[in-house]
Amino acid sequence: MDSAPPRETSLLLGVSDTPPVFELNATSRSPFLFTSDHYGRLIPKPLGDLGLPETELTRHIAWDIGIAGVADRLSNMLGAHLIAQRYSRLVIDCNRPPRVASSIPRLSEATTIPGNEGLSREDAELRRRAIFDPYHRRIDEVIDRRLAAKQPTILVSLHSFTPVYAGVRRPWHIGTLYHRDKALPPLLLKALRAEGDLVVGDNEPYAVSDETDHTIPVHGEARGLTNSGIEIRQDLIADQSAQQQWAERLACILGEIEATLRPELMA
């Protein structure tokens, strides 16, 4: 009797566990494709609590606080496809190349992560196969499909940042993060500054690089897509009404940018 090849199983996530990839509006016609690498803070059961107390697992080191509420609303307002990742960046950081040490951090800000000490190559590989690979494979598939259909695509990677890092207060309300794209970041910066009430970071508090980032270099730049990241300060999106207001503001700004970019995207 012929049988299908055995389904690849991961020891970290079983069929009854929450899948790593979360999506909204997957059949969207909007040019915007949103990603959220640090959307959730789940930990696969076999990893327990990574040796950390709850107070650490709910902090910014575990996830991008507030961004899920903004990402969901923004995606729905624009009818745009959102692809998000539900597991904690402390398990494996989906915006780091897997080859770099910070992919599975042993230290984040001033917190050592006991569950990430002394990992074997196989341990790291399991995390990659359970979480990192399915997320990035899905983004790849969606971009393949959109390019094949000649559907214009603007990749926007959504993040949030902590208001105080290592004791240093950050002045920005929102920032763009980008590297090689010359089209979207200047439009975003201009529109955000025109709001009048925002301190806008130009590649602050973070800039994109091939060594520290994965999503923008691999899915945006290498695929030739117009792209930028957006970082919102976490204390500004702490509750649902604030998330709603920021989503409305960004939906408005991105809607105008879409109209500006349309001739270029259709070319």
By CB under 5 A, tell whether 138 contacts Zn ion: no
Contact 261, 183 (CB under 8 A): yes
- From 144, 168, 159, 143, select the one nearest 206 (Cα to Cα): 159
The residue among 11 and 107 lying less far from Zn ion, judged by its C-beta, is 107
Site for Zn ion in 48-77 (CB under 5 A): 64
- Whole-number minimum distance, CB 170 to Zn ion, in Å? 14
Q: CB of residue 50 vs Zn ion: minimum separation in angstroms?
A: 18
Sequence letter at residue 253: I
Closest-by-Cβ residue to Zn ion is 159
Nearer to Zn ion, 24 or 61 (CB): 61
> E strands within the chain?
21-24, 32-36, 81-85, 107-108, 111-112, 154-161, 164-165, 168-169, 174-177, 200-202, 226-233
- Quote the CA–CA distance of 131 and 137 in Å, as a whole number: 10
Binders of Zn ion in range 32-51 (CB under 5 A): 38
User: Which two structure tokens, joined as six digits, stand for 93?
Assistant: 């950081």
Angle formed by the axes of helices 240-266 and 184-194, nearest 10°? 140
- Binding segment toward Zn ion, per CB under 5 A, in 9-17, 107-115, 158-166, 253-261: 158-166
User: Considering the complex, what minimum distance in angstroms separates the CB of residue 92 from Zn ion?
Assistant: 13
Among 41, 60, 159, 214, binds Zn ion (CB under 5 A): 159
Closest to Zn ion by CB, 28 vs 36, is: 36
Residues near Zn ion (CB under 5 A), total: 3
Q: Which residues bind Zn ion (CB under 5 A)?
A: 38, 64, 159
